[in-house]
Structure 1
Amino acid sequence: MWSTLLCCLILAGAAAASISGHIDSGTCVCLTTSGVNARSGAGLSHSVVASLNSGECYKFNGGILTHDGYHWYELQNVHGHHRAWVAGNFLRTSSSSHCSGSSGSTGGSSHGTFSSGVVSQHCLNCICKHESGCRPLGCAWDVNSNSCGYFQLKDIYWQDCGRPGGSLAACAADLQCSSECVQNYMSRYISHSGCAHNCESYARIHNGGPTGCKHSYTLGYWRAIEALGCSANS
């Protein structure tokens, strides 16, 4: 039974319980292991809304409930979700400064913040997570050319977005620069695509180029983005 419950709580890793009782609303709490499921409600029967990684920090919203043998804590703005619940076994308290600029408080990534523009922070976060786990991956050969960094940018994409950051590799490895490139690319092409100005169109253009939102081969990519918690109107 314990192993079954543990699998429902996390995807990988384990951590000793670090929060088990009352903490003040607004307290900053951080994940102590990776693969932790954040849920829509307190309890294992509720749907998973995000998978969280060690070091991500969020503000506690004040709700504490006990279900299925665990103390569940309600957190604010988790991967674009206004409220989400996480078992206290995988949380620790931290200084409030750790919640400044984190993925929970900004709608961006635990590695920094996204550039603003036509694409919402939530939508950028879903694309970033799908492309790289929102990590600054090195350049690697993929479909006839290198793909680099947080958004797996290609050279032609980087040229079309205005060549920010001095080089493809440097920009792609910087969250602010790479997300600025995505914003510029979408601003350049969305009005000419004939598609709605929404997350689905932006994701499919990111995957399939300037008219990618019109082509059926980008639908599988969009389904993967939806699975990360984004909708057309995100």
Structure 2
Amino acid sequence: MLPKLLCFFLLVGITSASLSGHIASGTCVCLTTSGVHARNGAGLSHSVVATLGSGECYKFNGGTLTHDGYHWYELQDVHGHHRVWVAGNFLSVSSSSHCSGSSTGSGAAVGTFATGVVSQHCLQCICQHESGCRPLGCSWDVNSNSCGYFQLKQVYWEDCHRPGGSLAACAADKNCASKCVQDYMARYIGHSGCAHNCESYARIHNGGPKGCQHSYTLDYWNGIRNEGCSANS
């Protein structure tokens, strides 16, 4: 196993942008690179609660700590979490207009996830893994198009009762796409033979109605875990 600090650098990459020193509470800060871990405390030993993408912007809550060689900043209302900590190496101060929503900036995800059997945290991990949680256009992937936030396919969209008028339209709408995922899981989890948890939902999302039973979905699940989710998320 790689040392924890080395793993951290491999995951987020190295960027020249860096936030350091005092800034006022309420300042808008934005991510300067993708794959950055937000944690539930200031330090590499704290649990990862979300993985953030370049261009996402949040308000600084006023908390700062130095730990493990990083200056950590406490941000508010990040991916459904009231308070998280992010290393200043991957943040920069931005215009307050970029923080008018919960996640803004060029290409960043907006809107909210639909509620249902899948937790908001689990949905976020799947969304981040599939698309960086962005409304990507449809593109050819494994014999059919994959579209939008959750990289939905035509047969998947049909199985979730065709919301939003078309696959492309629904997949590009965060609430509609996540509702499709919720309805798909509600339809199949009871027949899957697997536990009602994030691991099962992720593997079904990847492998179909009984994907949680197939070994080929384990690599996908490892990708979801790398986004900060556990089976019980």
TM superposition score category, shorter chain reference: 0.7 to 0.9
- Distance of 1:46 and 1:182 partners within structure 2: 32
Partner of 2:111: 112
CA offsets 1:69-110 (integer angstroms, 9 cap, x no match) = 75421224544665323217723265499264339xxxxx73
Cα 1:8–1:130 shift into 2, 3 Å:
closer
- Distance of 1:157 and 1:29 partners within structure 2: 38
More moved, 137-146 vs 76-85: 76-85
Q: How does 1:193-212 map to 2 (within 5 A)?
A: 193-212=192-211
- Distance of 1:148 and 1:11 partners within structure 2: 27
Partner of 1:135: 134
TM-score if structure 2 supplies the norm length? 0.79
- Distance of 1:42 and 1:190 partners within structure 2: 37
Matched, 1:192 2:191: yes
Q: By how many angstroms is 1:46 displaced?
A: 4.7
Cα 1:67–1:191 shift into 2, 3 Å:
closer
More moved, 111-120 vs 196-205: 111-120
- Distance of 2:149 and 2:111 partners within structure 1: 11
Partner of 2:86: 85
Partner of 1:166: 165
Secondary structure in 1 matching 2:60: strand
Structure 2, unmatched stretches of 5+, are 1-5
Structure 1, unmatched stretches of 5+, are 104-108
CA contact (8 A) 1:12 1:35 kept: no
CA contact (8 A) 1:30 1:55 kept: no
Q: By how many angstroms is 1:36 displaced?
A: 6.8
The amino acid of 1:84's aligned partner reads W
Cα 1:46–1:144 shift into 2, 3 Å:
same
- Distance of 1:172 and 1:219 partners within structure 2: 24
The amino acid of 1:223's aligned partner reads N
Partner of 2:99: 98
CA contact (8 A) 1:136 1:174 kept: yes
Secondary structure in 2 matching 1:213: helix
Q: By how many angstroms is 1:128 displaced?
A: 0.8
Task: Report sequence identity in percent.
Answer: 63
Q: By how many angstroms is 1:116 displaced?
A: 1.0
- Distance of 2:199 and 2:73 partners within structure 1: 32
Secondary structure in 1 matching 2:175: helix
The amino acid of 1:20's aligned partner reads G
Report how many aligned residue pairs link the two structures. 220
Cα 1:211–1:89 shift into 2, 3 Å:
closer
User: CA-atom RMSD, angstroms?
Assistant: 3.0
Q: 2:17 aligns with which of 7, 15, 18?
A: 15
- Distance of 1:22 and 1:143 partners within structure 2: 47
CA contact (8 A) 2:78 2:102 kept: no
Partner of 2:3: none
Secondary structure in 2 matching 1:119: coil
Matched, 1:56 2:56: yes
The amino acid of 2:103's aligned partner reads S
- Distance of 1:233 and 1:134 partners within structure 2: 21
TM-score if structure 1 supplies the norm length? 0.79
The amino acid of 1:232's aligned partner reads A
Q: By how many angstroms is 1:209 displaced?
A: 0.5
